[in-house]
Structure 1
Amino acid sequence: MQPVLQLQNVKKQIGKKTIIKGISFDLYPGEVFGFLGPNGAGKTTTIRMLVGLMSITSGEILVKGHNISKNFEEAIQHIGGIVENPEMYKFLTGYQNLIHYSRMVKGLSKERVQEVIELVGLEKVIKDKVKTYSLGMRQRLGIAQALLHRPSVLILDEPTNGLDPAGIREIRDYLRKLAREEGLSVIVSSHLLSEMEMMCDRIGIIQHGELVGVETVTDFVNDSLTLNVLFTVNEVEVAVNELTNQFPDHDFRILDGKIIGSLELEKIPEVNAFLVSKGIHVYGIGQLSKSLEDRFLEVTGGNQIG
């Protein structure tokens, strides 16, 4: 499968400071790609270069084979995006806003406008003025606007910002639907890691202007030397004290009446044998899956995401 978007050793220098230090990754048709990074890591700078709002110092960004620096018009026609919040004319209706923006694209029909309205589920409110819209409706209208010209890549910076849980789920479901049914490639950045885990196929983590890695969400979450292991025992507090004294380099604590410890795979039988030797009954040993948030904090050293 040919990538629709390619970043090849992309760098950005402002003055003497290198902000982006050679980022490379590919984006494929129909996938949702999560872009994560702590505050100041270079995430927004990269997104701005992707949509042509900031120049590239060196390297290449190719959109369907077109170089965004050398052939900007050919490349950018394949990209739709919302950086931060979508801006609309609040005194106009949703429909009037879309018609207004559709005039900027040659040959874009009213049928296509109606198509995107149905795609994002705004049929019932599209004739209402935007000032009456909830934040979730405005986000969906922004996505409709970004989709008008049938882009191959949709880039969304914090699309769920300020939304309530129902609105967040709504946007997540629409993005998954667009990727699945339209074959659209989506790049999305968000600080809501639990949402990214449910929404994305792959993630890329940027830190200090460098790409730490690009993996599927499942591989990234499970790619760890240590496991969160649950021990079901009869004397929980006694067991925790014994384990803490015997294995001072490992963290053991009580969680919902069980003991949880962060252990290497080879260490599990040793801990089990020790508990048994102390007369503690071990009724069960299980693994507690790590979340994207757990792994993100491990990889970035606990820096705040933004």
Structure 2
Amino acid sequence: METLVKVQGLTKQYRNGRGVRDVSFEVARGDIFGLFGPNGAGKTTLLKMMTGLCRADRGSAILFGYELTSEFEKAMAQVGCMIQTADAYPYLSALDHLKLAARLYPEQPKARIQEVLDAVGLGAYRHEKVKGFSTGMKQRLALAEALLSAPQLVILDEPTNGLDIEGVVEFRELILQLAREKGVTFVISSHLIDEMERICNRIGILNNGRLISQGNVDELLNSQVTLEQFYLSQIQNRKEKTAHAASVR
């Protein structure tokens, strides 16, 4: 199967000691890859490096066969992303936001704007100014912007933050539909493990900046445990190994 994402030894260290260290993994076309980890594990830093929002100290990210740093425009040409906070201009409407973003994608038909607004559940609110939006509505708008260019790879950082139960279900159905009908590939970081278990076919677990486990969900869960149980066991194993290493120094 074609590899769309190849991360090799990505490393970013901050002065406070946090960051990401020597992370490597691959994502094939059609995968829904879930990235899990506790707060401060390095998920957002990793996704920022994968989308060119911050420079790695070392290592590389290759998207669609193009190395991100040296061939940025080619690497990102088919990528949509939503990283960290869903920022927006409060004085613009949802429709105005997408019209502004659409100027970057002149090849997309005008009907695409209404199509993605409907897909994320904002069609009925397209003329409302963002200053009146809830956190969840802003998150939906950011997701619409990420999907506007009809990307083949979508990278999402905590996309369900602020969404109510209905919104989370709609997000799940949208992701599965895009993957199934359009062949879109996803890399998603999330704390909602139960929800991600329903859509991800592959996962990676980050802890203290290191990727401590990765693989196909079916293979990792062959002992009939839930993804939450598997995740907690991996984190606990890592803590025990770290404690043991410290005790023998």
Using the size of structure 2 for normalisation, the TM-score is 0.86
| Aligned CA distance change for structure 1 residues 111 and 214 (closer, same or farther; 3 Å) | same
Structure 2's unaligned 5+ residue stretches are 240-249
Structure 1 residue 70, shift from structure 2 partner? 0.6
AA paired with 1:67?
E
Quote the residue 1:296 is aligned against: 231
1:87 and 2:87 correspond: yes
Aligned residues of 2:10 and 2:23 also touching (Cα < 8 A)? yes
Aligned residues of 1:4 and 1:152 also touching (Cα < 8 A)? no
AA paired with 1:296?
Y
Aligned residues of 1:35 and 1:43 also touching (Cα < 8 A)? yes
Aligned residues of 2:139 and 2:161 also touching (Cα < 8 A)? no
Structure 1 residue 52, shift from structure 2 partner? 0.8
TM-superposition CA deviations, 1:183-207 (whole Å, max 9, x none)? 1111111111111111211110112
Structure 1's unaligned 5+ residue stretches are 224-288
SS at match of 2:172: helix
| Aligned CA distance change for structure 1 residues 40 and 117 (closer, same or farther; 3 Å) | closer
- Map 1:3-152 onto structure 2 (within 5 A): 3-14=3-14, 19-152=19-152
Root-mean-square deviation over aligned CA pairs: 2.4
AA paired with 1:292?
L
- Name the CA distance, whole Å, in 2 between partners of 1:13 and 1:201: 30
AA paired with 1:155?
I
- Name the CA distance, whole Å, in 1 between partners of 2:136 and 2:177: 17
- Name the CA distance, whole Å, in 1 between partners of 2:133 and 2:18: 41
| Aligned CA distance change for structure 1 residues 303 and 22 (closer, same or farther; 3 Å) | closer
Quote the residue 2:160 is aligned against: 160
Computing the radius of gyration from Cα coordinates, the structure with the larger value is 1
Higher relative contact order (CA 8 A, sep 6+): 2
- Name the CA distance, whole Å, in 2 between partners of 1:38 and 1:54: 21
TM-superposition CA deviations, 1:236-289 (whole Å, max 9, x none)? xxxxxxxxxxxxxxxxxxxxxxxxxxxxxxxxxxxxxxxxxxxxxxxxxxxxx4
- Name the CA distance, whole Å, in 2 between partners of 1:74 and 1:183: 20
AA paired with 2:81?
G
SS at match of 1:88: coil
- Name the CA distance, whole Å, in 1 between partners of 2:138 and 2:47: 21
Aligned residues of 1:8 and 1:24 also touching (Cα < 8 A)? yes
SS at match of 2:90: coil
| Aligned CA distance change for structure 1 residues 134 and 18 (closer, same or farther; 3 Å) | closer
AA paired with 1:185?
T
SS at match of 2:219: helix
